Amino acid sequence: MRRIGNREPIYDPEKTFNYESCGPLSQKCLDFFINEECFYECDVNIGKFRRHQQCEETLPNGALEVIDIPIKASYCDSWYEACKDDQLCAGENGSIFDAECFNDDVTPHCRTVAEHYNGNPAEFCNKTFGSAFFYETNENNAYTMWFQKGAANPNDWVLPWVDYPERCGFHSQDDTAAVCSAALQPDQEKSYKDVAIAAIVLSCISIVLWVVMFGFVCNFPGCGNKKHFDPMT
């Protein structure tokens, strides 16, 4: 699990990775890493991009690995701009999870984001988390890691034709629910309930309007005298 500064990790605290091993991140940069952590932990849509499609392939580890999740290019650009002057550890492959960043002394691998990724936001997005994400210029088919507090998740409408892989028995729905509930603020939870209630109300209104319109049409002269259509005659 990853740790950002002094924030407690959601999972096993004995197996943590500190983004700030090269020194504190600026607040604007830190915000993006927090967004990524919440996106990874709580957005069920990323399940479509599980690295191992077959459950037996995920054992004994790798169950939580994802690959090639398309991220909006504009979001990656903003993330890069926020972090380009911050120091980050990245290994030979450009990932913050490369083995070099788990050494006791990571100083030799600390550089600014701009230096690590040659001033290229796409390279930053494609490499920082290994192969988990990629920079997608077709933003209609890409996810964001942040949306307005209280709003519905826009990622729910992205790539609806992509199927989820088989659900593995060792995944705990209770654990996932606990993680996501912890990440949601009370007013966010309330907003999702409000959206559901609004959808039900609108459906009821649509039905009433349809009934009224149908009754209005059938009140025209001769409507009631029309012969019933029988497909067999």
Helices (H), 117-185: 121-127, 173-183
The reported pLDDT for the residue numbered 223 is 43
Comparison of pLDDT for 106 and 196, the residue scoring more: 106
pLDDT at 77 over 70: yes
78 residue type, one letter: S
pLDDT at 229 over 60: no
pLDDT at 76 over 90: yes
Whether 93 contacts 164, CB under 8 Å: no
- Specify the length of the chain in residues: 233
The CA-CA-CA angle for residues 128, 131, 133, to 5°, reads 75
Q: Burial, 62: exposed, middle or buried (Cβ in 10 Å; 0-12, 13-18, 19+)?
A: exposed
The reported pLDDT for the residue numbered 180 is 44
Comparison of pLDDT for 71 and 190, the residue scoring more: 71
The reported pLDDT for the residue numbered 123 is 96
Lowest mean per-residue pLDDT among 61-65, 141-145, 169-173: 169-173
The reported pLDDT for the residue numbered 45 is 92
pLDDT at 8 over 90: no
The CA-CA-CA angle for residues 122, 5, 88, to 5°, reads 35
Whether 95 contacts 19, CB under 8 Å: no
Comparison of pLDDT for 198 and 134, the residue scoring more: 134
d(CA 222, CA 208): 24
Residue 161, CA distances (Å) to 45, 47, 139, 143, 156 in order: 12, 13, 16, 14, 11
Residue 72, CA distances (Å) to 104, 136, 167, 227 in order: 35, 5, 27, 58
Comparison of pLDDT for 173 and 152, the residue scoring more: 152
Return the domain boundaries, the chain.
2-184, 185-225
pTM of the model: 0.67
**Is beta strand 2-3 parallel, antiparallel or unpaired with respect to 17-18?**
parallel
Query: In the chain, how long is the greatest CA-to-CA distance?
Result: 90
Lowest mean per-residue pLDDT among 84-88, 90-94, 139-143: 90-94
